[in-house]
Structure 1
Amino acid sequence: MKGALLVNLGSPNSTSVKDVKNYLDEFLMDKRVIDTPYLIRAFVVKGIILNTRPKKSAEAYKKIWWPEGSPLIVLSERLHKKVQKNSTIPVELAMRYGNPSIKSGIEKLAAKGVTEIFLIPLYPQFAMATTETITVLASKIVEKDFPSIKITDVPAFYNEPDYIEVLSNSIQQHLELIKPDHLLFSYHGVPERHIKKSDITKSHCKIDGSCCNTPSPAHEFCYRHQCYQTTKNVAEKLNLKEGSYSTSFQSRLGRDPWLQPYTDQTIDDFAKNGIKNLAVVTPAFVSDCLETLEEIGMEAKHSFEENGGENFSTIPCLNDNEEWANTLCNWINNWAK
């Protein structure tokens, strides 16, 4: 019997400092998130970050928390229900960090007699710290506790025509209302070394102005290429004029070089250079979360206005959009045939 497992990032159980600390511990101690040797990672995370960041992060979560709970969890649950409604096979929801866990999702499917799982990381672009960490953990859990279950992974879908169609339609609906001077595609940032580590050719990725535009097998696992390609595909679909849109990367951590241009600096520069009406879309996420609601929707908005901007709009993620739910359901049903 076949089943599907949707997996998103995850969230603290509550906005308490204790729960946020537990969540950050699990998240940042993942060697595919902070990819340093264990002892260094433990020193940085447990010795420094977890003694300073949880309180600040808890305050940030409080700003965006809903009465029903974490927006990311609530929106993922709504999406799950819509997908399951029209799916021909059982579908469960899990989070890479926090609850419900990937193991619990697999257990629920196994209890229904599922022996083959369609694993869908809810990330359009591949990255070590997103897609890869989900597929690796799911494989380890199955190998250890469910050896009779087979897993089929969904590859990054940044270039899938039906995904681009859904994303473009969602963006267009908001652009018609907002009519911005400029549209910024802001993707979650990753360290530059992650890009080079994921290069299966070990030579193609230079992180310069040309490698992402030069065809290569490396692009199958290149987050930077896939982000720029997502922007390009949507821009073509919406007939956006050259110069009316751009791409940037947010949420850097530490002093190592991360993908650039940085979103915060880009937004401030737009305001200082006379852009009065700015819209930001965040296509690295399919569900609104702390990074989209607080970092972009609040912090970036405030900074834009402080630097002379007037109208700052955030375009929601796909969330539980009906067209998006139907697309996921179609992928699942086609696989299950």
Structure 2
Amino acid sequence: MINMIKLISRVYSLRPRLSASYSVTQSVIETGKRPKTGIVMLNMGGPETTDQVKDYLLRIMTDRDMIQLPVQSRLGPWIANRRTEEVQKKYAEIGGGSPILKWTNTQGRMLTEALDQMLPESAPHKHYVAFRYVPPFTADAFTQLERDGVQRAVIFSQYPQYSCATTGSSMNAIADFYKNRKIPENVKFSLIERWAGHPLLARVFAERISENLHRFDSRVRDNVLILFTAHSLPLKAVSRGDTYPHEVAATVAATMSALSVPNPHRLVWQSKVGPLPWLQPYTDDAIKAYAKQGRKHIILVPIAFVNEHIETLHELDIEYCDEVAKEAGVEQIERVATPNDHPTFIAALADVVANHLKNGPKLSNQFLTRCPHCVSARCQSSKQFFKQLISGVISE
């Protein structure tokens, strides 16, 4: 794996950094080569401008895979309208929009460059971005993939830890796209829906934490409290059997093993939405409580996010570090950067995809297994669709 990290660093250093608006399709046209293998990168996405915020919130609040509300067709739009101005202000405070698309394109470009070096037999590789709530949408990605005539398509979740509300929602969107559309017969599909335990994912977080620990005075460094923070989940989903909480915990355990320091650590949860009970303890409450216990030196680690966005740049940096921690009397709090374009992270992405392309499985039994208390017909039909899609046998 060390050799892989060196390879990624070398590949990246040889290529100029491209702007976020750079078109991968344009690069294919310039080289005259059609992609042989497509990597579809799934994520929630975020509004690039404040003008996109209202529609972004509306799509989230009306998506029952993400959140369940009573009378959702009416309550969802009402909540979206009510929150638009507040959320627009938050995006304005971090520069006017989300950098998720920029980072996803950067990661995708670096990933495919590495794969071209590692796996020439499946090259050229091209990445496609498939967001749920802002462009480019699922339909955009798969329409372009079909136009490009790729022979192999790897659907690759950028949520390392699986949840029905995140990766599951993207899976349902893909199934919806092909519901009334002919499946391309010349494309062989496969799926990577989770990779929480990958050792290089743990290593990149460990490296990020180590960098931040050295910002503390040596006299307190070993006692700095490491708070791993992840997006919370409604307790209803946890009780149903969603695997997300234990997969996040697995990433935390692997990271602490790779880090090998004596520091105490805990897993806490952020970004609760709505009145229903969610997974606790909440990150801001934990900061306050630990400050009362005398823990005045803290590191926040966004363990479930692979790139910067509103919940790191605003919720963690501004609301928790600049406001909550200071009011609670915390003497020093540092926030670990998300993986972004760290060479170790790109090596993790490349290793996950390369191993998948060489060894499979094309579709995991873990994905096909529903939660023990799942009663969603949509979930059942979506999993059946993927079983058919990847086997190449599609029911008419």
TM-score calculated relative to the size of structure 2: 0.73
Aligned to 2:251: 230
Q: Secondary structure at the match of 2:180?
A: helix
Q: How does 1:252-263 map to 2 (within 5 A)?
A: 252-263=272-283
Aligned to 1:310: 331
Aligned to 1:195: 238
Shift of residue 143 of structure 1? Answer: 4.3
Shift of residue 115 of structure 1? Answer: 4.1
Aligned to 1:41: 72
1:182 aligned onto 2:202: no
Aligned to 2:266: 246
CA distance, structure 1, for counterparts of residue 305 and residue 294 of structure 2: 29
Shift of residue 305 of structure 1? Answer: 0.6
Shift of residue 181 of structure 1? Answer: 1.7
User: How many residues are paired up?
Assistant: 307
Q: Secondary structure at the match of 2:133?
A: strand
Task: Assess if the C-alpha contact under 8 Å between 2:291 and 2:329 holds in 1.
Answer: yes
Q: Which of 303, 310, 313 is 1:283 aligned to?
A: 303
Aligned to 1:170: 208
Answer with 168-177 or 180-189: which moved more: 168-177
Aligned to 2:165: 129
Structure 2: segments with no counterpart, 5+ residues: 1-35, 116-122, 359-396
1:14 aligned onto 2:44: no
1:265 aligned onto 2:285: yes
1:138 aligned onto 2:174: yes
Q: Secondary structure at the match of 1:93?
A: strand
Answer with 75-84 or 173-182: which moved more: 173-182
Q: Secondary structure at the match of 2:233?
A: coil
Q: Which of 112, 115, 131 is 1:95 aligned to?
A: 131
Task: Assess if the C-alpha contact under 8 Å between 2:200 and 2:347 holds in 1.
Answer: no
Q: Secondary structure at the match of 2:50?
A: coil
CA distance, structure 1, for counterparts of residue 303 and residue 141 of structure 2: 25
Task: Assess if the C-alpha contact under 8 Å between 1:189 and 1:259 holds in 2.
Answer: yes
**Code of the aligned partner of 2:47:** P
Residues 267-315 of structure 1, C-alpha deviations (whole Å, 9 max, x = no match): 1112222222211011111111101110111101111111111212110
CA distance, structure 2, for counterparts of residue 223 and residue 256 of structure 1: 18
CA distance, structure 2, for counterparts of residue 289 and residue 249 of structure 1: 16
Q: Secondary structure at the match of 1:10?
A: coil
CA distance, structure 1, for counterparts of residue 179 and residue 141 of structure 2: 15
CA distance, structure 1, for counterparts of residue 180 and residue 343 of structure 2: 36
CA distance, structure 2, for counterparts of residue 62 and residue 41 of structure 1: 28
CA distance 1:324–1:240, shift in 2 (3 Å): same
Task: Assess if the C-alpha contact under 8 Å between 1:185 and 1:248 holds in 2.
Answer: yes
Aligned to 2:198: 160
TM-score calculated relative to the size of structure 1: 0.85
CA distance, structure 1, for counterparts of residue 262 and residue 235 of structure 2: 29
**Code of the aligned partner of 2:348:** T
Q: Secondary structure at the match of 2:339?
A: coil
CA distance, structure 2, for counterparts of residue 146 and residue 289 of structure 1: 35
Q: Which of 95, 101, 119 is 1:73 aligned to?
A: 101
Residues 51-102 of structure 1, C-alpha deviations (whole Å, 9 max, x = no match): 3100000000111126xx5222222222122112222322222212101112
1:63 aligned onto 2:88: no
Task: Assess if the C-alpha contact under 8 Å between 2:232 and 2:272 holds in 1.
Answer: yes
Aligned to 1:274: 294
Residues 16-75 of structure 1, C-alpha deviations (whole Å, 9 max, x = no match): 3xx2111100112111111246xx11232113x123100000000111126xx5222222
CA distance, structure 2, for counterparts of residue 309 and residue 36 of structure 1: 37
Task: Assess if the C-alpha contact under 8 Å between 1:3 and 1:91 holds in 2.
Answer: yes
Shift of residue 169 of structure 1? Answer: 2.5
Task: Assess if the C-alpha contact under 8 Å between 1:65 and 1:71 holds in 2.
Answer: no
Aligned to 1:5: 40
Shift of residue 146 of structure 1? Answer: 4.8
Structure 1: segments with no counterpart, 5+ residues: 200-220
Residues 207-253 of structure 1, C-alpha deviations (whole Å, 9 max, x = no match): xxxxxxxxxxxxxx5111112222122112212436x1111000111
Answer with 290-299 or 151-160: which moved more: 151-160
Aligned to 1:217: none
Larger Cα-atom Rg? 2
CA distance, structure 2, for counterparts of residue 309 and residue 170 of structure 1: 21
Aligned alpha-carbon RMSD (Å): 1.9
CA distance, structure 2, for counterparts of residue 232 and residue 85 of structure 1: 31
CA distance, structure 1, for counterparts of residue 98 and residue 245 of structure 2: 28
Shift of residue 176 of structure 1? Answer: 2.8
1:113 aligned onto 2:149: yes
Q: How does 1:291-330 map to 2 (within 5 A)?
A: 291-301=311-321, 302-330=323-351
Task: Assess if the C-alpha contact under 8 Å between 1:5 and 1:119 holds in 2.
Answer: yes
Task: Assess if the C-alpha contact under 8 Å between 2:200 and 2:348 holds in 1.
Answer: yes
